[in-house]
A and B are shown apart, each in its own frame.
Chain A
């Protein structure tokens, strides 16, 4: 057993057990604001933190409300969803970043992640030796869930994508990680919009799909989103090798991460070498850094193969 003072998150000042409080600060701290409790119905929690182990993989997922929305009391518009598919030994991980111009972006993100995870699982159910994932079907089903929600809430059974999209819009990033005996760990990933999937290898962040910010460009171009663009997906496949960490991120993290060579990249690379516990993972994601106050979400997958 390590001495207590080395247990993270705990201090022993004066012999009393103390919780170490406050966010992890990277660079210039963001101001401290009192988070407004969300008034939205259905209620959206400020933070979700999740994770566990399956098939020799360890996964962590967190979604934290940005400082800007905490300040205004608006709901978190990112969401994450995990699901295991035992028959094919596949971990399904999904992340969405609601488009804030759409007033119900929070609901869009919440629906999209759940329906996409279910769509992947249904494909895997249908075929025990599954072919590559049919991404058009996955994004199509997630897009349709947004239209259905709009029909339900508006009471307009004929409403379509054109009516739903201004209210419910989100990016969507989906990964399926399959662990077959004696075979390399296989990652399939696809995205509509700019939320990136990356592989962290030592200190390098290798982009798989989605956009990573280009220092030469200005920020603020349009973004592809569901339900408008279910066919505008980018896809990639990759083997997850020893020491690789698969990362799915929303742009609230991707932006301060940049190309990974800055302070945020260094901290993440160091802290994600091994899986933090679920709550520490969310705390890491909720770091304080001036001007970066958007919602942040991150899913990380490690393999226990050495």
Chain B
């Protein structure tokens, strides 16, 4: 017997060493976020890190990344395990613009490499989720951000993420609806509420969503669970 034929091919990586859920926070750093709103974002992110790190089961299952946008988009935290020692970036207002296109392009750029890296380490990877938070309308040509969004959500993009979109301040409900990958993932701050207060509620809901989604990661089911934060309306009905 030919010995070379009886040996099964050795995979390049050990398969199935763990399962992970990539989650990206994509946050608005435009000038209008200055003061209480951006402080609420920073506080929310720090709480999220601490709570996830403390949870006995989900810390190892979640990988969290931060991308911010204003005139341009920046990756502020590469996809990371949330441990108590993890140093988070401090978000600060920069630039006058609110370029959704830059944010979508940055995600489209980052996700395939991030997923490939996890897979090459032997992880089984769940469909990524994006929490998109903005306090303004896109300051660019509508066609431009729509095209970048289409590239991110197109069926031919294998790693296309689930996008949950949250509008606070001057964000436009009809735009938020288009950004979200499902109508039940679109949320708008109730009119008259405080932006910083709404952001704090958003951050709590993002944390709860990460915990409940990561707790019940299953192969065949939708990867993200989410309940409407207080102070927001869900845009799953036509806007009148």
Chain A contact residues, CB within 8 Å of chain B: 27-28, 30-31, 33, 67-68, 71-72, 99-101, 171, 193-194, 211, 213, 215, 217-223, 251-252, 254-259, 261-264, 289-294
Chain B residues within an 8 Å CB radius of A68: 57, 215-216
Q: Is the CB of B220 within 8 A of A294?
A: no
The B215-233 residues at the A interface (CB cut-off 8 A) are 215-223
Query: Number of residue pairs across A and B with beta carbons under 8 Å?
Result: 104
26 CB < 8 A contacts A-B: A28-B17, A68-B57, A71-B56, A101-B221, A101-B222, A193-B220, A211-B220, A217-B158, A219-B127, A219-B219, A220-B127, A220-B219, A220-B223, A251-B219, A258-B16, A258-B124, A259-B15, A262-B17, A264-B16, A290-B60, A291-B19, A291-B20, A292-B18, A292-B19, A293-B215, A294-B218
In the complex, residue of chain A having the shortest beta-carbon distance to the beta carbon of B160: A218
Q: How far is the CB of B146 from chain A (nearest CB, A)?
A: 25
Cβ contacts under 8 Å, B128 to chain A:
218
Q: Which of B19, B119, B222 has the most CB of A within 10 A?
A: B19
Q: Assess the A215–B56 pair: CB atoms within 8 A.
A: no
* CB-defined contacts of B222 to chain A, threshold 8 Å: 101, 220, 222
CA distance A264 to B215 in the complex (A): 21
B19 lies within 8 A of A251 (CB):
no
Tell me, rounded to whole Å, the shortest Cβ–Cβ distance linking B17 to chain A: 6
The minimal Cβ–Cβ distance linking A226 to chain B, given in whole angstroms, is: 13
Interface residues of B in 6-31 (CB under 8 A from A): 8, 11, 14-20
Q: How far is B222's CA from A68's CA once the two chains are assembled, in angstroms?
A: 17
User: A218 and B125: CB pair below 8 A?
Assistant: yes
> Chain B: residues with CB nearer than 8 A to chain A?
8, 11, 14-20, 56-57, 60-61, 115, 119, 124-128, 158-159, 215-223
Q: Is the CB of A194 within 8 A of B14?
A: no
Task: Please judge, given known A-B contacts A257-B16, A261-B11, A263-B14, whether A223 and B127 are in contact too, CB under 8 Å.
Answer: no
**Bound state CA distance, A218 and B222, in angstroms?**
11
Which of A28, A31, A255 is in CB contact (< 8 Å) with B219? A255
Complex Cα–Cα for A171 and B220 (A): 10
Q: List 8 A-B pairs, minimum CB-CB distance, nearest first.
A: A223-B220, A220-B223, A258-B16, A291-B18, A220-B127, A262-B15, A251-B219, A31-B56
Q: How far is the CB of B154 from chain A (nearest CB, A)?
A: 15
Closest to A193 in B: B220
A256–B215 Cα gap in the complex (Å)? 16
**Which residue of chain B is the closest to A203 with respect to CB atoms?**
B8
A71 to B16, CA, bound (A): 23
B110 to chain A, nearest CB (A): 15
Known contacts A31-B56, A68-B215, A194-B220; decide if A220 and B16 are in contact (CB<8 Å): no
> Are A72 and B215 also in contact (CB < 8 A) when A258-B124, A261-B8, A261-B11 are?
yes
Are B57 and A33 in contact (CB-based, < 8 A)?
yes
User: In the bound complex, how far is the Cα of B219 from the Cα of A217, in angstroms?
Assistant: 11
User: How many angstroms between the C-alpha atoms of A294 and B8 in the bound complex?
Assistant: 29
User: In chain A, what residue has the closest Cβ to B218?
Assistant: A294
State A101–B220 Cα separation when bound (angstroms). Answer: 11
On whether the beta carbons of A218 and B217 are closer than 8 Å, the reply is no
User: Is there an interface contact between B19 and A100, defined as CB atoms closer than 8 Å?
Assistant: no
A255 and B18 CA atoms in complex are apart in Å by 9
Q: Would you call B15 and A215 a contact (CB within 8 A)?
A: yes
- CA–CA, A291 and B222, complex, Å: 17
Q: Which residues from B are CB-within-8-Å of A71? A: 56-57, 215
Given contacts A33-B57, A292-B19, 19 further A-B contacts (CB under 8 A): A33-B56, A71-B215, A72-B215, A99-B221, A101-B222, A171-B220, A213-B219, A217-B158, A218-B128, A219-B126, A219-B217, A219-B223, A220-B127, A221-B220, A223-B221, A261-B11, A291-B18, A291-B60, A294-B216
